[in-house]
Amino acid sequence: MLKVAIPGFEPMEFDHLVLDFNGTIAFDGNIIRGVEPAISMLAQLVTVHILSADTNQNVTQQVAHLPVTTRVVNSAYQLQEKLEYVEALGAESVCAIGNGNVDTDMLKKAELGIAILGQEGLSPKALLVADVLMPDIVSALESLVNPARLKATLRT
């Protein structure tokens, strides 16, 4: 379990980290440098889930060596399937990270939604519903291990 206490907020306790694949932890279908060690470290605290429409048809291969649960979602229903996945986990125990239009509902529903501005860009809709914006995925993942960074951004 990962605990984050932020002044002005109820304490947050996460059992699950839900990550979008393409555009979030991967660029052009390849995992971004620095993501693997961060996921391995976080997997000691929470269950890490990777959701993808598998655009490049390689998500399973890319994450096979990581301690994660992977779910390939139907590309026509990604928005709904990602939301339903977060709800099934118990949204109050989920931190979700994404960057696209198809991530908006899961970012909004999760206890903590983090939007990242990666090399593939960031949907303005995802930005508007997220609790925090991070410049890249490695910064986002590191902020979960060093929650003082989240405190500085989110406290009231």
3-state helix/strand/coil string of 78-118: HHHHHHHHHHHHCHHHEEEEECCHHHHHHHHHCCEEEEECE
The pLDDT-based confidence of 23 (bands split at 50, 70, 90) is very high
CATH of domain 12-154: 3.40.50.1000
Average pLDDT value over all residues in the chain: 93
pLDDT at 29: 92
Is a pLDDT exceeding 80 seen at residue 8?
A: no
Q: What is the pTM assigned to this prediction? A: 0.95
Residue with tokens 């986990």: 89
Question: For the chain, what percent of residues have pLDDT higher than 90?
Answer: 79
Q: Which residues contact 130 (CB under 8 A, 6 or more apart)?
A: 107, 113, 114, 115
- Closest by CA to 115, choosing from 93, 139, 91, is 139
pLDDT (tens digit per residue) in 44-82: 999 999 999 988 899 999 999 999 999 999 888 999 999
| Nearest residue to 130 (alpha-carbon basis) of 48, 47, 22, 20 | 20
- pLDDT tens digit string along 30-44? 999 999 999 999 999
Q: Look up residue 18 and give its two tokens.
A: 């839900």
- In the chain, domain spans: 12-154
